[in-house]
Structure 1
């Protein structure tokens, strides 16, 4: 997740490409997908990150979080998005927003890496060990998720100095909403095909 104030991206460096996708849900929906049409980003190992930007920031959506991840299926890159209300603790209908994908062309080679989640006997949830990968940079600034399936239970990433942990999203709907009914797969050793794109410099 990337958080910032400048949504016009006028400051963007020449090696950074910005793709904007407008999301205007026609019907009430808590989960949506759209094509990015940049499948070569994975095959060429090019780092990229997403930023959802509200069309209007007001009192009605100040408690909303637009969660997202990228998904690579049959060499086609898609963006999966859901809306969550932190005040009510449940998934809600997606608002109007613009999804901005930042693509870093010609990145510094030692500043990014594509890393899978790991498991250990002591840790119940998947994690990424940053200490072994970034000796001098243990606090990466940008992290992006790339999945291979669309039925994973939504989760957030909890980042600490030497580690990135996974935290599943809790919903108070009583397992009656679309997301809770259809997105139920958890990450396990046998279903560990999720990778994080980690970038430390920009």
Structure 2
């Protein structure tokens, strides 16, 4: 069954071609450190699988919908916010989430990873933890290449227009898939949570 899904995904990518990203590559690729009154999350994406499909990322804390940006493969987003507990969401064919408990003055990292959908890639948000045995952690050999090998992109009017045109569909997916998310066990949620100690002073 997974093989059939892979063939369907490949056919979709070949027929559909590469999706264009309305975000703009930042003139400066240096990410400024947050102040002690803010926390920063850097979302990174680097995977051949699903590389022709864009994913959009949001802050959905307290059921709000804050548009962070659209990610093509090989890009990253930087998002500064108030410290404390946050919930983030990634959307493509479906929606998935990540919890966070952020401390001021620190930068946190998350990977946007593809998974098989019915007709195209879906995406998940994974926290990059401080150390093993997490699925993604800062001790991995790939961590340096993810940080240095992805391009920082920023918001544009075209991206904002895309968000407004698709907002109703995004809200519907948030509500539908949040129910699934809330069924996860405490241990499953812990695996998908950025903890306060996972931050860095870069």
TM-score under structure 1 normalisation?
A: 0.27
- Under a length normalisation based on structure 2, what TM-score does the superposition of the two structures give? 0.27
Higher fraction of helix: 2
Q: Quick check: which one's strand share is greater? A: 1
